[in-house]
Structure 1
């Protein structure tokens, strides 16, 4: 019996590095928002709701998985960003706001790209501090601001 898309995704997640799972979740959220924008344009209310609900679950999962003790200021700032996104997702769903959905995609893409770079560097065995610096550079270059305060 062939695997369904969900089973294939779960299988891939089970075998992936944690950083690869983050990239996969960001990709799913971005794709879900793009599908919601299309549904808004097509006036497909149920599809829009379903897509936004999936994105909401993904962002809530990202938020709940933050380790504030180990992640410090970065985790705290990501938490604030995830809360901002969650609040906007409710507004997108209520008002069928395709423009705001596109803005959230613009927020998620640099984060996804940064985690993609971290994942690649981890696979190559690079130093964690260098990866963290690279991630922050990517996020800041996209206009988002995450800061780290040295202990």
Structure 2
């Protein structure tokens, strides 16, 4: 059975800040990949496919929402990462690769955490430069090497 957003979730998204929606998307992607791993362990092919497809839609949405003009190098780097994840999701689904799915979760968690901190700062009224510096700091602390320097 395909997964769809509930009315309550849609309502929550409509009221949320854009950065809060990004955090929600990352959370759902992580939960869906975790469920996909469980489905792989139980040899539930339909559930695995449905869950990986949800993650594919989420990462595709994140990729398409990047503002390449305003986002500059960070958007470019995130775009490369999202394209990598999308390619891995195809392989994970075809080969029922639980280990590969776990590695993608490990990639998504620090991204989610960085956006969570950005969302908190945005709620407090932080400026764009501060938010950019926050995301870079969190990603670098998680081992990501972005060729970007915050202003």
Corresponding residue for residue 73 of structure 1: 73
Count, aligned residues: 148
Query: Is there any run of 5+ residues in structure 1 with no aligned partner, and where?
Result: none
2-structure distance, mates of 1:68, 1:5: 28
Matches within 5 A, 1:20-99: 20-99=20-99
Query: Is there any run of 5+ residues in structure 2 with no aligned partner, and where?
Result: none
2-structure distance, mates of 1:52, 1:119: 26
Which 4+ stretches in 1 moved above 4 angstroms? none
Deviation, 1:5, is 6.1
- RMSD, aligned CA: 1.5
2-structure distance, mates of 1:140, 1:91: 27
1-structure distance, mates of 2:104, 2:6: 24
Instruction: Give the TM-score normalised by structure 2.
Output: 0.94
2-structure distance, mates of 1:150, 1:94: 39
2-structure distance, mates of 1:70, 1:111: 19
Residues 33/150 of structure 1: CA separation in 2 closer, same or farther (3 Å cut): closer
Corresponding residue for residue 109 of structure 1: 109
